[in-house]
Chain A
Amino acid sequence: MSKMPSFQISRRFLRVWQRNYVVYQKTWKINFLTPLLEPLFYLLAFGYGMSALVGKVPFEGEELSYVIFITPSLLAIAMMYNAFFENTYASFVRMYYQKTFDAMLATPLSLHEVITGEIIWGATKSLIATAIMLGVVTAFGLVHYPQALFVLPLSFLAGIAFGSIGMFFTGVTPSIEAFNLPIFLFVTPMFLFSGTFFPVAGLPGWAQKLAMVFPLTHLVNATRHLCLGSMNADVFWGVLYLAVFSVVFFPLALVVMQRRLIR
């Protein structure tokens, strides 16, 4: 009986997704407000305030205006934040304080379905936020279609990758305060150094190598190419990197949650 149970996932994980969707709908106006206003604030501050200082940014032999440069970064950061925070703080509250998972486990759902439903929900939030933000930056004429449409499926994949790693931290964190650690050591460095606000090439050599490990670097890069209207090998490598990242961290999240909750 001590052997690890095999992964037990059926389409029932959608029931868990639906539960979160019902809750989300109750406050959709507030939920929509952040992705609607956030890009506006950033574009105002960085795009118009900073671009006078920054001038043009070199990217793949082109000279981009700073606004054009950071628009894909804002989308990519939103994908990371929405999924990561959903599957850390929000999932932890449901698991630890509200005992929502315990109640679900007294039904035909398996723990793996509960966790899968949570991660897919995190990815869905990433998709919703990205769609709204894409609408905003489109209104400013900052992205190229039809390539930019591929940002939407990309946001879902990125949501699975960042949600899985978030859920992994939820499985091992001793308390809700301890999330500060992965945020400080993992999320914030990515936010700053993943080619988001300046090109990775601006970093010293060793830091460039480190930045290439960050999934956000690959996500920003792929998103940038798509927003600029190019569908090339960099997009493919970005997708591949996120897929591999998900393939590693999704099962890992299931394992640590199983160890945490099934006693």
Chain B
Amino acid sequence: MNKVMLHVIETRNLRKAYGDFVAVDDVSFHLLPGECLGLLGPNGAGKTSTVRMIYGFSPMTDGELQVFGLDIRTDWRAIKARIGVCQQENNLDPDLTVIQNLQVFARYFDIPKAAAKAKAGELLHFIALQQRQKDTVTNLSGGMMRRLVLARALINDPELLILDEPTTGLDPQSRHQVWERLEELRANGLSILLTTHNMDEASHLCDRLIIMDHGKILVQGKPSWLVREYAGRDVVEVVNPSDELRSFVRTQPFMHDDLGRRIIIYGQEGEELFERIGRHFCKDDCIMRMATLEDVFLRLTGRELRE
């Protein structure tokens, strides 16, 4: 195997500054071939700024960024020819029909007409929109548009697919439709980089996650490992906790968040501890559940609103 393809994406101390504001601050990570890597973070964490540098849309301010072993600053055109991108907005071409959206886009990659036609047909089948190929895109539903954006990103048979919040604003049915398509692509070995703030999406699709905030990487790892490491195995949520519980929790070694009206206790192995809490401190207002990625996310990025 070629040395340069060890990493599909490799960044070292990648930075993006807009004037005084640093949107991406010394970010270093890599993406392995065939891997689905998720960038997870609240609004304004620097996810979109990061991926925009990777697909050659925004010039980087500082650091190193290689895609397919090529430098984005010098080989941007060669890199962009091998990437498929779903940007955050549905920027389909409203002046064109469904099929024309694919065929005209294929031209931007210099794909010959016959090959583009065949590929467009195949992709419409893949996203189940063959029946609508002559429709203008403004007549499509939100979910259909998103699927078409995905198909458009695949027109050049990319080796890397970059998805910027692929399912934001979709209803659950449409979201699962998109996920199914993505799972199929992943199973076929396509390398995927996606940004999201949807925890289900992250744990559903990603082999590995990077949680970002304020332009920095907080943690990275497999979703299950992150949950175990940062939120434990089980969680007890106690509504209107008593003072006894508060002081009890403080004396114990396990992680907890005191939100005032609610205490969230993260248990590692401690089934006994949990039983004790259940027996002694809970009347009706205790919930015991599995720890989730959302716990990890909120613990690491805080609970304040991001606006």
- State the A residues within 8 Å of B (CB): 1, 5, 12, 15-16, 18-19, 22-23, 26, 98-100, 102-110, 262-263
Are A23 and B96 interface neighbours, CB within 8 A?
Answer: yes
- Pick from B105-113, B244-252, B277-285 the stretch touching chain A: B105-113
Are B107 and A106 interface neighbours, CB within 8 A?
Answer: no
Size range of the chain B interface in the assembly? 20 to 34
Contacts of B55 in A (CB 8 A): 106
Considering the complex, which residues of chain B in the window 99-132 have a beta carbon less than 8 Å from any beta carbon of chain A?
Answer: 100, 104-105, 107-110
Chain B nearest CB, measured from A1 CB (Å)? 6
Contacts of A108 in B (CB 8 A): 77, 80-81, 108-110
Tell me, in angstroms, the Cα distance from A263 to B61 when the chains sit together: 10
Closest 4 CB pairs of A and B: A99-B91, A107-B108, A106-B85, A23-B95
Are B57 and A98 interface neighbours, CB within 8 A?
Answer: no
The closest CB in chain A to the CB of B156 belongs to A107
Tell me, in angstroms, the Cα distance from A102 to B108 when the chains sit together: 13
Tell me, in angstroms, the Cα distance from A98 to B93 when the chains sit together: 7
User: Which of A16, A22, A105, A108 has the most chain B CB atoms inside 10 A of its CB?
Assistant: A108
Contacts of A262 in B (CB 8 A): 57-59
Tell me, in angstroms, the Cα distance from A208 to B221 when the chains sit together: 73
Question: Can you show 15 pairs from A to B with CB atoms below 8 A apart?
Answer: A1-B59, A5-B59, A15-B108, A18-B104, A22-B104, A98-B93, A99-B91, A103-B87, A103-B93, A105-B57, A106-B55, A106-B57, A106-B87, A107-B81, A263-B18
Binary A-proximity of B62-98 (CB < 8 A = 1, otherwise 0): 1000000000010001001101010101011111100
Tell me, in angstroms, the Cα distance from A192 to B211 when the chains sit together: 62
Tell me, in angstroms, the Cα distance from A105 to B92 when the chains sit together: 13
Binary A-proximity of B35-58 (CB < 8 A = 1, otherwise 0): 000000000000000000001111
* B154 interfacial by beta-carbon distance below 8 Å: no
Contacts of A103 in B (CB 8 A): 87, 91-93, 105, 152
